[in-house]
Amino acid sequence: MSPAPDERDRIRAAMDRILAGTPERSNGALTIVALAIEADLPRNALTQRHTDLKNKFYEHVRTHGDTPDVETRLRKKIVDLKTTIANKNDELTSLRADVQRFLAENTRLTLENQELRDVLGGNSTNVIPMHARFASRPIK
């Protein structure tokens, strides 16, 4: 069973649109996936039934070496996002280490506070409230 001539026409029209930088359905990338989306066909139509058109598309991309502006911008954005993710991962690692240090310091201070309370608690009989001491003296 041979593929419908309509498929080949749709692929050719999609190739023209992508290579002209005016895609209608895809992101305009110079890939078979984008070409299949642009032609509104499954990818295997290009990789199995229309390999000659796939090869023609790749040959044009290789010989002209032109990358659409949209693809160039998207590739730059990907690089920027990967850098941002790497920076955020570094920051997250640092913050996690800070949390561990804060927890350790909090534990140390809690223990020190408890020791001080224990020391003060044992000598609480030496503490006389000010109002009781002055209450026994008449005010002049």
More confident residue, 30 or 132: 30
Confidence of residue 29 (pLDDT cuts 50, 70, 90): confident
The first and second tokens of residue 69, run together, are 């502006």
Closest by CA position to 68, among listed 5, 22, 36: 22
Same-domain status, 60 and 25: yes
**pLDDT value at residue 77:** 94
The first and second tokens of residue 11, run together, are 């692929």
- pLDDT single digits (tens) 2-15: 556 699 999 999 99
Same-domain status, 11 and 59: yes
Same-domain status, 93 and 78: yes
Closest by CA position to 67, among listed 118, 30, 104: 30
- Domain tally, the chain: 2
What range defines the domain where residue 101 resides? Answer: 70-120
For residue 55, how many other CB atoms are within 10 A of its CB?
Answer: 11
Mean pLDDT of 24-45: 90
Look at the pTM and tell me if it is higher than 0.75: no
Alpha carbon dihedral 35, 39, 45, 48, in 10-degree steps, equals -40
137 DSSP 8-state letter: S
- pLDDT single digits (tens) 55-101: 999 888 888 766 666 677 888 999 999 999 999 999 999 999 999 99
- SS (HEC) of 57-78: HHHHHHHHCCCCHHHHHHHHHH
